[in-house]
Amino acid sequence: MNATPSKHSFGMIGLGTMGRNLLLNLADHNFAVAGYDKDADKVALLGKEGAGKPVEGFAELAPFISSLQTPRSVMMLVPAGKIVDSVIDELRPLLSPGDIIIDGGNSHFTDTERRAKALEAEGFHFFGMGVSGGEEGARFGPSMMPGGDKQAYQVVQPMFEAIAARVDNEPCVTYIGPGAAGHFVKMVHNGIEYGLMQLIAETYAVLKTGLGLDNAAIGQVFTQWNAGRLQSFLLDITKDIFGYIAPDTDHLLLDDIKDEARSKGTGKWTSQVAMDLELPIPTIDTAVAMRDLSKYKALREQLAGLYGPAAGALPVEHGAFLAQLEQAFYFSMVITYAQGMQLLTKASKDYNYDLQLAEIAKIWRGGCIIRSGFLNEIFNAYKGTPDLGHLLLDGQVQKLVNEAAPGSRAVVAAAATAGLALPGYMASLSYFDTFRTARMPSNLIQAQRDYFGAHTYELIGKEGVFHTQWTPEHEDAANKKDVEVGQEHKTEKPVTPNK
């Protein structure tokens, strides 16, 4: 796969904000690049912003492909779903075996697996790559998560390492793993992002409704937090939002925005996959659910009229409570990351991705939306113990969680008493308390399942699977014996438990 000299070393399909800015980023690093889009205005904008740089725009696909050196490296940054398949179908007759196709959008990982197999059979190289960082990241340094065809990635690796964000002078891009590993990791990244954004929104509710702070004071809290151990990209932009005055007004634009959150589906995908893998991520699940609930604005207003306002002021001393709130946010943030990292651990085993969690945490420290100071703790935890079963097992993380947990309990208790909804905070605390419960009450659930559906159960200290006739009325004629009601007895034949 040695490149032969030609005009452009890399091509981009889709010249929206992300695609255009990534091309300009490459051009800034002296790579000759080409971009294609059906929208002539977007092509013109690329030409305007790329004036004087080694970048050329095309509004027709065939000349765009012809302008690329062989083997061609073509990246797509188009909306996930059928559009990706449509673009690939347009590319097929114009490309040659050995050419490289990269999907840089937020495609579902199962679609990436399907496309990779189909294109490999035709002689093309294909891999999916998650890209995080938004408009600014794409232009000046994103975090990138390529996975799949490793040989193909190695061809473009120098380019991606050149344009990636850097932390400690190391690029925030690394080969993630085989198959759809890159898109899977990006999906989990987005799930964590949902969780963190929900926690920040709930914190806003505490400050505004629970403590009655004005916007300036709320902005100051976020500014102070971002200067400490909670430093993160999401808090950084939040403090900026609390300083932005709506044009031609005397108030924050934030106050004019409807309280109905939208999404593009990646958070939902994270929850769906976690359920398929039977792994709990309740903070992320709650964040997805709250976005959905926010869309029922009319119904929420109707219920507020029927039941009265849910939230009241918190009868607390502000100074002490703000310290507890900082602890509570830190605690819930740690739990959110921990849920995402365990999902990656489980998927790595089940899907044979061989994910290196320390390297993933490392590239998330810069350029991406969920970058934060705490990612250094995650990196150190998995670097020290690569096979760590759960982030909460790490000694340093344990210390941090134990220190922050009292604040979480105080905030959740106060909010619940006042009727202030903090579903993300509550889900995080309940997850933690349940996970550290050595014996859960789930034995009762198993007994109930066996009672109504003969789903069987297992016993402590006994091998085998059991079923009980819990009352004389339910006792099967074939199993009528002189047994006491409720006594367990093993079936004559091996039992396969029903789910």
User: Which residues are annotated as catalytic?
Assistant: 186, 193
Other residues' Cβ atoms within 10 Å of the Cβ of residue 418: 17
Residue pair 71/151 in contact (Cβ under 8 Å)? The answer is: no
Q: Rounded distance, CA 19 to CA 36, Å?
A: 10
For residue 421, which of 268, 330, 294, 232 has the smallest C-alpha distance? Answer: 294
Q: CA 468, 472, 473, 475 torsion: positive or negative?
A: positive
SS3 call for 420: coil
Look at residues 3, 17, 59 and name the one whose alpha carbon lies nearest to residue 34: 59
How do 100-103 and 125-132 pair as beta strands? parallel
- Which candidate, 268, 280, 101, 112, places its Cα nearest to that of 184? 112
Is beta strand 489-490 parallel, antiparallel or unpaired with respect to 462-467?
antiparallel
Which residues have CB under 8 Å from 129's CB, separation 6+?
A: 75, 102, 103, 104, 144, 145, 146, 147, 182, 183, 186
103 vs 116: CA distance, rounded Å: 10
Distance CA 214, CA 201 (A): 15
DSSP assignment string, 41-86:
HHHHHHHHHTTTSSEEEESSHHHHHHTB-SS-EEEE---SSHHHHH
